[in-house]
Amino acid sequence: MVDLTTLGTGVTHGPGAEPPPTLRRWLLSRERDRRRERILGAVLLVAALVLAGWTVYLGSADSPRALHRPWALATVLGMNPYTLIWVGIDVLETLGLALIGIFLRLGRAATHTVALLALPLFLLDAWFDILTSMSLHRLVVALVMAAASEVPAAVTCGWVAWKASRFAPSVGRLAAPLGG
């Protein structure tokens, strides 16, 4: 009888077989666990949806003010220029998380590249949130956001890139499944 819970993970059950890897062992090892990769992919897709909602809120909640120039795109769109910058960064972060989630669920080698491209976006977001804080309250909010979401997201992107690179086939097959 085939054990469908371990199908495609390289883990078998029976006499002399290794037990399934623990989460901690899997996080730091060369072992693949497609089930956990698919779960992490789904979590990243949910995070992308939450970030998309935040981006819509951010873009619609702020009124235009400061730095008005008749030729500026932000003025044409009726947005604060800083808000437009943050919305743009958040859109790229959302796209990055969604692509990482999709590629991770599909087991694609391109997961590595997309995760490496998304990583600096989260650090850039945290950096500029902190540097452009205009009051102590906004600085505290920026530090909390950086510690609670942006830096952990960057670390997750780095870990996913590291983990995916260990299973990536040759560079010429970036669109091929990781597991073959």
Residues 6+ apart with CB under 8 A from 9: 20, 32, 33, 34, 35
Q: How far apart are CA 100 and CA 114, in angstroms?
A: 6
Check residue 132 and give its pLDDT.
87
Is the model's pLDDT at 4 over the cut of 60?
A: no
Q: What are 177's strand-pairing partners?
A: 108
Check residue 71 and give its pLDDT.
54
In this structure, of 57-66, 81-90, 141-150, the range with the lowest mean pLDDT score is 57-66
Q: How far apart are CA 88 and CA 25, in angstroms?
A: 37
In this structure, of 4-13, 81-90, 94-103, 169-178, the range with the lowest mean pLDDT score is 4-13
Q: How far apart are CA 84 and CA 86, in angstroms?
A: 5
Q: How far is CA 62 from CA 33, 42, 58, in A?
A: 43, 31, 7
For the chain, the structural domain boundaries read 33-173
Q: What's the mean pLDDT when you consider all of the chain?
A: 77
Q: What is the pTM of this model?
A: 0.70
| pLDDT band with cut points at 50, 70 and 90 for residue 5 | very low
Check residue 168 and give its pLDDT.
59
DSSP 102-131: HHHHHTBTHHHHHHHHHHHHHHHHHHHHHH
Residues 6+ apart with CB under 8 A from 52: 94
One-letter amino acid for residue 47 of the chain = A
Is the model's pLDDT at 12 over the cut of 90?
A: no
Tokens of 82: 């800083």
Q: Which residue has the higher pLDDT, 42 or 34?
A: 42
Angle between helix axes 34-61 and 81-106 (nearest 10 degrees) is 160
Tokens of 57: 């809120």
Calculate what percentage of the chain has a pLDDT beyond 70: 64
Select from 89, 91, 60, 85 the least CA-distant residue to 73. 85
Check residue 57 and give its pLDDT.
83
Q: How far apart are CA 110 and CA 104, in angstroms?
A: 9
Q: How far apart are CA 87 and CA 82, in angstroms?
A: 9
Task: Write the pLDDT tens digit of every residue in 152-177.
Answer: 999 999 999 988 887 655 444 455 55
In the chain the first and final C-alpha atoms are separated, in Å, by: 24
Check residue 118 and give its pLDDT.
96
Check residue 37 and give its pLDDT.
83
